[in-house]
């Protein structure tokens, strides 16, 4: 009889095995014929073998078999994180090594004792608590260490300040190298500070002074001006004569209209640009006059008064100007005398406008023969250029408008 289980058999418990043995025993009547020792011996051997097999193949052993657990992956156990952590630790250690090496080199250069390198913040705190127990050499080393730490801290702060100053200096250098700023600085350095006396002058007082000057010029009969009495009434000309501290302008403009029409053309044009003055038949204006000369712009403050006087055979226009240049402390004055007379060829339909204008630099001294300086010459040249351009345009305008006025009056007469 084979009690060993096969692969297809289920495992037997101990109770089932004992019950199976009891069923296979012979009848009670036959027990006397059988040797009890032989029967017990066989049964014991079979039972031992069965028990060994049952114990070896119990279900508990089946559940205790080693089961391979699945590895749970987490960010902390990732190989990339571990490698990154290792690299960070290595970099930190390298930085510490470099810092310690730097301190070692500095200590070697300064001639300190090698034992001073062993002093750190914790040791310093301990030394300060036990200062009385330290030897004289230890206290000296501690003081040197503290002074060195303070010096290094101050040195780092100074380096930061120096870097900031260099950055600011480079920024200012780039700004100062701009061409526009260089031109402005050259203008400021070449020109003096504005004259306060010119800036604080009362405009009303200056206007009153100009009005008196205009009236005086008229009653003097133009004695200050050399008006050409004999001049061609058919040719337009312009003359400019320079003096030591001024310029004289002379113009002759024939107009193909009557004397009254020429006077109206000139006066209506002036009324559009100026305001009425305090006296009858006068106009005045105050303005800032920018004039470009070379690479700079000169800003003049201009005060102007003009007055007309009607006579039987002519019309007189007298003007006076004050031109202030505060940036250079200069003052210019101009006086003009214009006469509108009838033409000798056609007194009713033609006339001649003659103008003399004198521009002069006004100085504090009476020495008018003194040559003008560089700044004064530049300002005088700028003003003369402006006046020249004005008369070139003005003479052409007067000629054209005279023809238009004459044609209009002819149509009205028809």
Q: Which pLDDT value is given to residue 16?
A: 67
**Same domain, yes or no: 53 and 106:** no
**Same domain, yes or no: 158 and 302:** no
Residue 96 lies in a domain: yes
Q: Which of 109, 138, 171 is the last residue of a domain?
A: 171
Residue 66 lies in a domain: no
| CATH number reported for the structural domain that contains residue 303 in this entry | 3.30.530.20
Residue 191 lies in a domain: no
Residue 77 lies in a domain: no
Mean pLDDT value across the chain: 76
**Same domain, yes or no: 260 and 369:** yes
Residue 150 lies in a domain: yes
**Same domain, yes or no: 28 and 124:** no
Residue 141 lies in a domain: yes
Q: Which pLDDT value is given to residue 349?
A: 87
Q: Which pLDDT value is given to residue 41?
A: 45
Q: Based on the structure, what is the number of domains in the chain?
A: 3
**Same domain, yes or no: 283 and 160:** no
**pTM exceeds 0.75, yes or no:** no
**Same domain, yes or no: 202 and 310:** yes
**Same domain, yes or no: 120 and 223:** no
**Same domain, yes or no: 268 and 344:** yes
The residue ranges of the chain whose pLDDT is under 50 are 1-3, 6-10, 27-34, 36-43, 54-58, 60-65, 112-121, 200, 230, 366-371, 414
**Same domain, yes or no: 213 and 361:** yes
Q: Which of 104, 137, 171 is the last residue of a domain?
A: 171
The parent domain of residue 317 ranges over: 196-413
**Same domain, yes or no: 250 and 356:** yes
Tokens found for residue 166: 């260099």
Q: Which pLDDT value is given to residue 116?
A: 44
How far is the C-alpha of 305 from the C-alpha of 397, rounded, in Å?
22
**Same domain, yes or no: 400 and 282:** yes
Q: Map the chain to HEC letters.
A: CCCCCCCCCCCCCHHHHHHHHHHHCCCHHHHHHCCHHHHHHHHHHHHHHHHHHHHHCCHHHHHCCCCCCCCCCCHHHCHHHHHHHHHHHHHHHHHHHHHHHHHHHHHHHHCCCHHHHHCCHHHHHHHHHCHHHCCHHHHHHHHHHHHHHHHHHHHHHHHHHHHHHHHHHHHHHHHHCCHHHHHHHHHHHHCCCCCHHHHCCCHHHHHHHHHHHHHHHHHCCCCCCCCCCCCCCCCCEEEEEECCCEEEEEEEEEECCCHHHHHHHHHHHHHHHCEECCCCCEEEEEEEEEEEECCEEEEEEEEEEEEEEECCCEEEEEEEEEEEECCCCEEEEEEEEEEEEECCCCCCCCEEEEEEEEEEECCCCCCCCCCCCHHHHHHHHHHHHHHHHHHHHHHHHHHHHHHHHHHHHHHHHC
Q: Which of 122, 154, 171 is the last residue of a domain?
A: 171
Q: Which pLDDT value is given to residue 208?
A: 87
**Same domain, yes or no: 50 and 134:** no
Q: Which of 320, 352, 350, 358 is nearest to 339 (CA)?
A: 352
Residue 406 lies in a domain: yes
Residue 245 lies in a domain: yes
Give the phi and the psi of residue 130 in degrees, each rounded to 5. -115, 45
């Amino acid at each position: 009889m084979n009690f060993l289980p096969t692969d297809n058999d289920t495992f037997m418990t101990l109770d089932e095995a004992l019950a199976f043995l009891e069923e296979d025993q012979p009848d009670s009547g036959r027990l006397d014929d059988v040797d009890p020792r032989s029967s017990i011996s066989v049964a014991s051997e079979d039972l031992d073998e069965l028990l060994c097999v049952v114990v070896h193949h119990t279900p508990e052993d089946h559940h205790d078999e080693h089961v391979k657990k699945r590895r749970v992956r987490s960010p902390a156990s990732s190989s990339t994180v571990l490698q990154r952590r290792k690299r960070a630790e290595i970099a930190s250690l390298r930085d510490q090594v470099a810092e310690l090496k730097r301190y070692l080199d500095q200590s070697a250069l300064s001639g300190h004792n090698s034992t001073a390198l062993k002093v750190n913040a914790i040791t310093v705190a301990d030394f300060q608590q036990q200062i009385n127990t330290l030897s004289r050499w230890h206290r000296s080393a501690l003081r040197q260490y503290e002074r060195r730490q303070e010096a290094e801290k101050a040195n780092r702060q100074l380096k930061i300040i120096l870097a900031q100053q260099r950055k600011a200096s480079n920024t200012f250098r780039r700004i100062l190298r701009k061409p526009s700023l260089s031109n402005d600085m050259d203008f400021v350095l070449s020109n003096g500070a504005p004259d306060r006396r010119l800036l604080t002058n009362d405009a009303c007082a200056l206007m009153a002074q100009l009005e008196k000057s205009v009236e005086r010029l008229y009653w003097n009969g133009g004695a200050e001006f050399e008006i050409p009495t004999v001049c061609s009434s058919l040719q337009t000309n312009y003359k400019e004569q320079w003096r030591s501290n001024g310029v004289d302008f002379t113009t002759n403009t024939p107009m193909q209209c009557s004397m009254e029409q020429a006077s109206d053309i000139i006066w209506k044009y002036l009324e559009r640009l100026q305001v009425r003055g305090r006296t009858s038949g006068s106009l005045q204006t105050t303005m800032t006059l920018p004039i470009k000369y070379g690479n700079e712009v000169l800003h003049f403050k201009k005060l102007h008064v003009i007055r007309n006087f009607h006579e039987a055979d002519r019309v007189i226009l007298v003007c006076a100007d004050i031109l202030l240049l505060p940036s250079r402390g200069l003052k210019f004055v101009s006086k003009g005398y214009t006469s509108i007379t009838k033409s000798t060829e056609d007194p009713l339909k033609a006339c001649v406008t003659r103008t003399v204008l004198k521009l002069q630099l006004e100085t504090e001294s009476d020495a008018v023969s003194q040559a003008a300086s560089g700044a004064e010459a530049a300002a005088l040249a700028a003003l003369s250029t402006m006046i020249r351009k004005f008369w070139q345009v003005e003479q052409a305008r007067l000629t054209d408008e005279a023809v238009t006025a004459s044609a209009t009056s002819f149509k009205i007469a028809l």
